Structure 1
Amino acid sequence: YRALYLPVNLGLAGAFRAGMRYADEKGYRAAVQFDGDGQHRAEYIPAMYEEIKAGAEIVIASRFVTEKKPRTLRMLGSRMITAAIRLASGVRIEDPTSGMRMYNRRMIELFSRQINYPPEPDTLSFLAKNGVRFREIQAEMDLRTAGTSYLTPWISVRYMTRMLLSILLIQSFRAEQKRGGGKET
């Protein structure tokens, strides 16, 4: 496998964009995003790629395609984001906070070249509103085996508030993307 080593911590958005730029420069047909804490399983990559080959532009390894979301505070937040995305775009994404996603070539180019496209649920909502084709496959996530989550209860509340405001208000002011080249107008 190939690894991209970054000399400084760029955070989630910066590391994601660096990976997408690498994939873009190398001409990759698909790229996978997954968390480095051990909870995502590589065994789902072939099924995700089959969905890309079938026409999906973004494939999400979802915990909730066939399984119900548990009734926890964290899953309440996930339900709220799912509802907000559906309200804003008309598209239902069952697990918009999943950190395991696969992107097709057009999405690689888009994320590589657009600095204001972080890998967050509000960006997924914007893309869904603009016709990007999503698929979700059922996946199991393991418990974290490395690191600690930055999402404390207070940070989680701030994150939820920011995502909901962005999905329901701010994204409606964002320029629509052109279907062909992935450039904003």
Structure 2
Amino acid sequence: METLGRVLIVVPTYNERDNLPLIAERIRASVPDAHLMIVDDNSPDGTGDLADELAAKDDHVHVLHRPGKQGLGAAYIAAFRWGMSEGYDVLVEMDADGSHQPEELPKLLEALAEGADLAIGSRWVPGGKVVNWPAHREFLSRGANVYVRLILGLPIRDATAGFRAYRAATLEKIGVSGVESQGYCFQVDLTLRTVRSGLRAREVPITFVERVNGVSKMSGKVITEALWRVSLWGITGLPSRLRRRR
């Protein structure tokens, strides 16, 4: 099995003060050799200050402060750029609210070690499941992913998943710095770029647990953007930046 090298786990935050300490502790316990990057969008509840306290106590924890809430995609791209410039070989996305289980991180990394270029923590493959989700949320997620598969021809059952691991080489090849989409659409965008670039995307079953503390950042604006962009890609074939790279 391949040795992966340096791993950076990226956790964006906005008003996640109640969730951050425990999720950081679980991440560090589950993958102790990995580094953690907390990307805070100037949270009014002091999440950024708490992140600084965690980093002061642990040299495997880093903090990236941003001036305001600029979107999930922008937070990940900023962290990816930092991680790639610092020589990390693998970059992982996961939420701060506890919906993604840190104990499942080794499964994602194992998929990369076995040859995948992108490992997706999937709710909708055999073995995957969701816990404490209302019926309308499950209907929305399943429906969105069926739409993505049909209109884009993607062989992925959970292209909107936000728990995933990339090789740094994958992000370089797909041109991640040129991605402008957000939310659901950011995940679909990167999945599409990966598959259309001839790279290997593998889905790993996970258990997704609805947050207990705080408020979901999902909004109608994010969903509308995803539907519009995915429909456009279905017509044109690829995100615009990737078309220009070809």
Query: How far apart are the structure 2 equivalents of 1:12 and 1:90?
Result: 25
The correspondence for 2:73, drawn from 4, 10, 13, is 13
Question: Which is further off, 84-93 or 36-45?
Answer: 84-93
Query: How far apart are the structure 2 equivalents of 1:176 and 1:11?
Result: 21
1:137-163 per-residue CA deviation (whole Å, 9 max, x = no partner) reads 1111222144312324x4465245224
Q: Which structure is higher in strand share?
A: 2
The correspondence for 1:58, drawn from 118, 133, 136, is 118
Paired position in structure 1 for 2:149: 86
The TM-score normalised by the length of structure 1 is 0.78
Residue pair 1:85, 1:167 contacting (<8 A) in 2 also: no
1:34 Cα deviation from its structure 2 partner: 0.6
Q: How many residues in Structure 1 have an aligned counterpart in Structure 2?
A: 179
**% of aligned pairs identical?**
24
- Structure exhibiting the larger radius of gyration computed from Cα positions: 2
Query: How far apart are the structure 2 equivalents of 1:131 and 1:49?
Result: 20
CA RMSD of aligned residues (A): 3.0
Query: How far apart are the structure 1 equivalents of 2:78 and 2:147?
Result: 29
Runs of 4+ in 1 over 4 A off after TM superposition: 67-71, 110-113
Matches within 5 A, 1:63-82: 63-66=123-126, 67=128, 72-82=135-145
Structure 2 unmatched runs, 5+: 1-59
1:74 Cα deviation from its structure 2 partner: 3.3
Matches within 5 A, 1:122-141: 122-141=189-208
Q: Which has the higher contact order (CA 8 A, sep 6+)?
A: 1
C-alpha distance 14-65 of structure 1, shift in aligned 2 (>3 A)? same
C-alpha distance 44-145 of structure 1, shift in aligned 2 (>3 A)? same
Question: Which is further off, 158-167 or 38-47?
Answer: 158-167
Residue pair 1:33, 1:99 contacting (<8 A) in 2 also: yes
Paired position in structure 1 for 2:85: 25
The TM-score normalised by the length of structure 2 is 0.61
Matches within 5 A, 1:32-181: 32-66=92-126, 67=128, 72-110=135-173, 114-116=177-179, 118=181, 119-152=186-219, 154-155=220-221, 157-172=223-238, 174=240, 176=242
Residue pair 2:162, 2:187 contacting (<8 A) in 1 also: no
Query: How far apart are the structure 1 equivalents of 2:223 and 2:91?
Result: 30
C-alpha distance 71-144 of structure 1, shift in aligned 2 (>3 A)? closer
